[in-house]
Every structure is written in structure tokens, then in C-alpha cells.
Amino acid sequence: MNNARAWLTIRAPLAISTAAALLWAGAVTASANAQTLPGKLFVPGSRGVASVEPPVTQPSITPCIVTLFEHEAFDHRGEGSSMAAHAHLFRFAPPRGCPGEWEKVVLEADFSVPAGRQFDRTAAIWLGGVNLYFGTTLEPEPDLARHWHATRDLTDYSTLFRKERTGQIILNNWISATTNQPIYVTARLLFYPHKPGNSAPAPADHIYPMSSDPTGEQQALNLPQDIVSRRFTFPRNVENAYLDLIAQSQAHDERWYTCVDKRFLKATRDYSLEAFEACDGGSFRGVEVLVDEKPAGLAPVYPWIFAGGIAPHLWLPTPGIQATNFIPFRVDLTPFAGLLDDGKPHTVSVRVLGANRFFNVAANLLLYQDHQSAPLHGKLLDDTLSQAQPALLTVRNTLHSDRAGHIVGMIRTHAAQSYLIRGLLQTPRGNLITTVCYREDFRNDQTFDRPGARRYDETIQQITSVLIQVHRTLNGRLQNGFVFKQQDPFSLAVRKTMVTTGQDFIALVAVQQGHEVALHRTKSSGGVYKASLEENLSARDRAYGKAIPPPLDRSNFDHEESGQETVRFNDSLGSCYQAKIVSREERIVALHEGKGCPDRSNRFNSRSLPDNPWLMPLQP
């Protein structure tokens, strides 16, 4: 359960911390593309936070460091379920020791919460209205503090850091009689100097925040018709446009993958573990992007599970995939570049398909210019997405009464959507045409069974598959293109046994999460880049009670946690990362690193992007 919703933001004074402290970390060392990771990341037997999700790659160069805030305490007194948040402001200034271009820019954030009782909370870091980080916090144990680390590659956002700005962190934590611990955060930006002779990264020329707050704040969307919308007038020479977006499910929508159509709610209510899971609105959620109120792109919603979700002991010691650090999904709006270049104001909007109270949304619009020419002209040639709305969604059920009069059967929810959007840009070099083909298939199958008078078994099998194909031609000749595939499998199995005539129960709960992406990128020069990332996590636990109450409380649970997380990343730059961690009774029992990599050693090229958006290289 996540009590982190922020409807109202209460601002704190600017001088709230030692923000924007500029630290020069020493002289720049010799650059090297290779980054070898240390072995033995965790110690068997440890109860500390343990995850093997791939790290952000970093050059072998000493960075300049700008501290945004240090050991910032979120300890406001109030009701734990409050939906107001105190924004903590900070000031940022560019690093004095690293002027000019940067090889890479990385955000690092360290979180901690002392031993005790506290909910998981949403945390977001903003600078000049632009979202830099979005994730949730972990719950402490009564006798164990929790510490964890998050990083994000912000090299594409380098332009943002070239002048002084005001930022803020929003972390909706409240201290009460039952939630008694503060949460502490330290955040810094690492600027790696560009080494002459290396190909320089090409960051976005402009970053436009979708937040309505000039300092930055996530936007709440309750229903499908609700939108986040901003109106901009763009430069006249935009060549490429992308939207990085995150849609975080909250409140009634927090476990949207367990929801059913309202007509099935009464029949399946007794299978639920708690009230939050007895939700209607159906089990499909997705994101739609609009340009000038017309559909322009789609994005999937990842089934994140926060640290208090389903059964809290499932996530000890390993959090759910991306739970503490959401990865944005990038939507390609480049076919609309010719439209955006006309010098007139244009509206960019985001809405959540299927939203049913509610989603938090953060989005940043990245624009790349053609610096050799202005203005540019063009037009939209094709947009089948506008013609194919709404998406094809089917819900079928086989619910019926068995011989004992118990409701059993299946609810199958399938959604399919595809589109082709093609845009023309007239440049001094000739006609540049960008074609984006997108296909998304979603399946959620819920099975309800009654193997005994007091048994309620529910199984959810879900998968979202996305295929993106993009190619660009200049005067009819292929310039570059890529094929990107993503699959997000998810399953939840619950065996719930009632132990009294009331609502007390024992539940065996098993969760599996996956995240698989693959990229094949080509250029007209013959260059090819390939990359693939595969993450899989499974966790099992036994839960007791009328409902599963957050936060963690050992007095209420005789838990039997077991789980494992496996991650693999490879690319054609020579990067290889493989790691597996196994836990039992909330302790690490086994760790395997580098198996399958050369010399059984994990190794990254600093240009590799295992943290996605689109796993980029080739350099432009």
C-alpha cells in the first residue's frame, strides 16, 4: 500500500538545506570506455536491501559533483494517510570545475529510514519543472533500518544543467503515532567531463516540462477523460521530438491488474486479500499522448508493486522491479516535427486509458534542432492512430456457480492497438520522412477457483508486448532506423484459506515480474547496434490476517518469504552483465555474478544504456 499521493503541495523555505553545494572531486583521470563492476555486491546472510537491477554506466573519469540536498529529513507531523505534501526546495548551479560539454550526467540518490514503522511513500525530484527522478520508498522493519540507492542517466537532459535553477523534492511522509519514522534523502548530480577526441553526446536542445508547476510536481489523473496538458511555442527548426513519461498507479488504481469490470465485482469480492484489491474499472490501463488534441502516441503502464503491495514481506530483502526507481517510457513524436515548426502554439497532452482513481503522471518533452537551417517546414502525412480510436478492448468471462454454489471461472481481458504515423520535414538537404510503427498487445487472464469450502484461489496471468519500428529516409534513401521490442510479463497467484467464520484467513501469495527489452539499430553508413535486457523476479510468502496491513509489523506475521531476481544485459559494445540473487526468510542465501560473461566478470562500456530509454547508442 502506498500512502504517497500528493494532491496539495505545501512549500518549504528555499534555504532548507545545504543545497547546491559545489564539490570538485579532484583532477580528471585518463578516460576509459570500459567499466568493470566490483564483485560480491551483497553478503550472504544479510537482511539489507538487495537488488541486482543493472547500474547506470559511468565513465572512468573523475566527475564534478553538485550536491542538491544532503540528509534531507521528511518528518512532518500529521495523519499518515494525508494527501498533502511539503515540497522541499533547493537551488542548483552548474559545476564550476567542469565547463563545456559533458560525457555523461548521472543523478545519484541515497535513501534511508530508521527501524520502526512507516508506509512506503512516493518520492519525486524536479528541477525547473523537469522531472529528474520518480520512485517509491521502502518500509523499515521494527528492528531494522532500510538503506537504498537510486541512479538515473540524465545525459539527454544536459541542456537543463547549463544555468542556475530552482528545484524541489516531493516526498509525502508523515510522522504519527503508528507511523513513527522519518525518511532521509541525499541527492547529487555527477558531471563527467567530455574528453577531446571522443564522440560527444548529443543532448536535447530543449526540455519542456509537462508539469503545471514551474518548479515541478506530478499531476493526478482520476479518469480517462482527465488530461495533463501544456501549450508551447517551439523553435522553427525542430527535427526530432520525444516524450519521456511515467504513469504511476495510486489509490484505487494501485493494483489495477487485479481489477475487474464493475459487473463482476460482487461475484469475485471474496477472493480479494484486502479492500484495495476489490476494485472495478477493468484490468487494462495504458497511456495516450496527444498533439493538438489528436492521438499522437501510446505507451504501456508497467505493473509496479510498491514495498507495501500485495504482501509486504514479499519485498524483503529485494524490492519489486523498478519499485524504487521508475524507468520512463519514451514516445517518439518526431513525425510531428514539421507541424511543430510552424511558429504557432501547440498543445501536448497525456491521459491514462482506463484510469479509475487515480494515476500520478510525470512527463518531459525533449526537442532536437537542425542547427544548420531555420525555419523548417513540413507536414503530417499519415496518422492511423487518430482513425483507430478507441483501442480494441475485449472482455470475456466464464464465471458460473459450481455444484456447491460457489462462483468460479475466468475473466479474460485483451487489448490490441497498432498505428503508423508518418511525417515529412523539408530541409536544405532534401525531404526527410520519419515513420513510426507501433503495436501493443495486452492480455490479462484472471482465474477464480474454489477447491474447498474455505479456499479461494485466484491466479492472474498478464503480459504486455510492445513493438516499435522507426525508420527515416532522406530523399527516399534510408538514413537510420531501429526495431525495439518490450515485454512485461506478470503473474499473481493467491491461495486464500478462511480460518474462522469471520474474515480471518491464511494466504499463500506468489508474484512474478518481468521486464524484457531488445533493440536493433542501424545507420546508412552500415553501422549496427544491438542490445538486450532481461529482468525476472519471483517472490513467495505466507500472510495472515483479515487484511494485509501496512506497514510491516512482525507481531502480525509468521512469514515464509522466498524469492530470487535474475538480470541479464548484453550489447554489441561488449557490455555484459549477469547477476542472480536468491533469498529465504528475508535473508540473502546465494549470489551469482558474471556467469556467462567473458572471464565470468560483469563489464560495461560507459556508453551502454541498460537503464533504457531505447538502450540508445549509435552516436549521431
Which residue range forms the structural domain that includes residue 75? 1-27+57-217
User: How much is the pLDDT for 597?
Assistant: 92
Please name every residue paired with 332 in a beta bridge, in sequence order, or none if there are none.
Answer: 242
> DSSP readout, 267-287?
HHGGG-SSGGGS--S-S--EE
Query: Does 585 reside within a domain?
Result: no
User: How much is the pLDDT for 549?
Assistant: 55
Query: Does 86 reside within a domain?
Result: yes
Cell numbers that stand for 550 in this block: 501496512
CATH number at residue 143: 2.60.120
Query: Does 128 reside within a domain?
Result: yes
How many structural domains are present in the chain?
1
Q: Quick check: 338 and 205 in contact, CB under 8 A? A: no
Query: Does 540 reside within a domain?
Result: no
User: How much is the pLDDT for 12?
Assistant: 39
Query: Does 604 reside within a domain?
Result: no
Q: What value, to the nearest 5°, has the Cα angle with vertex 534 and ends 528 and 538? A: 175
Please name every residue paired with 516 in a beta bridge, in sequence order, or none if there are none.
Answer: 487, 534
Cell numbers that stand for 606 in this block: 560507459
**Euclidean distance between CA atoms 331 and 226, whole angstroms:** 20
Residue 366: closest CA among 338, 337, 389:
337
User: How much is the pLDDT for 392?
Assistant: 78
Query: Exposed (0-12), middle (13-18) or buried (19+): which is 129, by Cβ within 10 Å?
Result: buried
Q: Which helix (H) or strand (E) holds 337?
A: helix 337-340
Query: Does 232 reside within a domain?
Result: no
Query: Does 246 reside within a domain?
Result: no
**Distances from the Cα of 294 to the Cαs of 297, 324, 512, in angstroms?**
10, 33, 36
Question: What are the residue ranges in the chain where pLDDT is below 50?
Answer: 4-32, 34, 36-40, 276, 620
User: How much is the pLDDT for 32?
Assistant: 39
Query: Does 21 reside within a domain?
Result: yes
**Left, alpha or beta for 100 (phi > 0: left; psi -120 to 50: alpha)?**
left
User: How much is the pLDDT for 255?
Assistant: 93
With cell 537551488, the residue in question is 91
User: How much is the pLDDT for 620?
Assistant: 46
Q: Quick check: 582 and 564 in contact, CB under 8 A? A: yes
